[in-house]
Amino acid sequence: MLSTHADIWLTRRRAGGFALRGYERHLQRFATFAAARGEEHIFRRETAIAWAAQAATPGERQRLFQIVVGFARYLHAEDPRHEIPPGRHFPGGRPRPLPYIYTAQEARRLVETAARLGPAEAIRPHTVSTVLALLFATGLRISEARALRMGDVTPDGLVIRGTKFGKTRLVPLHPSAVSGIACYLERRRAVAGGEDHVFLRVPGRRFLGRSFRYWWDHVLRRSGVLPAPPARRPRIHDIRHTFAVRALEGAPDRRDCIERHMLAVSTYLGHSCIANTYWYFQATPSLMSQVADACQRRFEGGLT
């Protein structure tokens, strides 16, 4: 039955590091819909189109359709009787927003503004400023930074567990980041209580996501980094984009070196697929300009 095939497909995909949140519910709904049409065993493209067409908005129709298209490709590889729907039957889909790339001056201003949140004797301003500095230095996801526990801070770097793709990785730190975390931990020791999470908002209490977003908005407004409309509002996640862009800008010119550099950046960021790292090239004009210049030199015979 299609529901059984869906369970097998999800198990295999998750074993490869994909979270696939929400996929199980949607695929089971599709399997039930197909069974009601008398198609319990073979995937039919018309059924997939009819199921996705029930969604209320173009974006939702496109998203649901892409879920079952991926499932169909897996089934077809196992048994050619399964049909693969046309991938672009439903147009639309929400484009990925272009990231806001912070300058070095803006990064410094954000960290300094966070350190002045006050009151000076509280742990919160030190936490927010240390977290922002760590994000700029490592490209961690904010969820990864908030989830850090004391045992994850090691002499070799930070152990990042239970990431977006369910993997664990070691993130080496620059000496300046090591020093910054050490200073924070020294201050934290007096107010930690029994809390094992590294970053605290008040004595003995970890920083929750909604609480950090509140103080991030506060820091953004007070720092003067917030651009005037209609420019898009910078996000915390754009700090990760900024780290990736700066790392990719430092790639060497030789093709074999670029490939190794890209793989190293992708591994450091914890991407499950290097294609996610390549996206930073097309998302950032300065990187696209570097790519264009490299291509031009290659056409002129200056790059081997």
Active-site entry in 5, 82, 146, 240: 240
- The single-letter code of the amino acid at 109 is R
Whether 45 is a known active-site residue: answer no
Whether 280 is a known active-site residue: answer yes
How many angstroms separate the first and last alpha carbons of the chain? 53
Whether 5 is a known active-site residue: answer no
200-202 and 205-206 strand pairing? antiparallel
Instruction: Pick the closest to residue 225 from 138, 112, 97 (CA basis).
Output: 112
Active-site entry in 23, 74, 184, 280: 280
Active-site entry in 63, 82, 126, 141: 141
Q: Is 40 helix (H, G, I), strand (E, B) or coil?
A: coil
Whether 184 is a known active-site residue: answer no
Active-site entry in 164, 169, 187, 261: 164
Residues 6+ apart with CB under 8 A from 150: 196, 197, 198
d(CA 164, CA 144): 9
Angle between helix 45-52 and helix 23-36 axes, rounded to 10 deg: 120
Active-site entry in 222, 237, 246, 261: 237
Positions marked catalytic: 141, 164, 237, 240, 271, 280
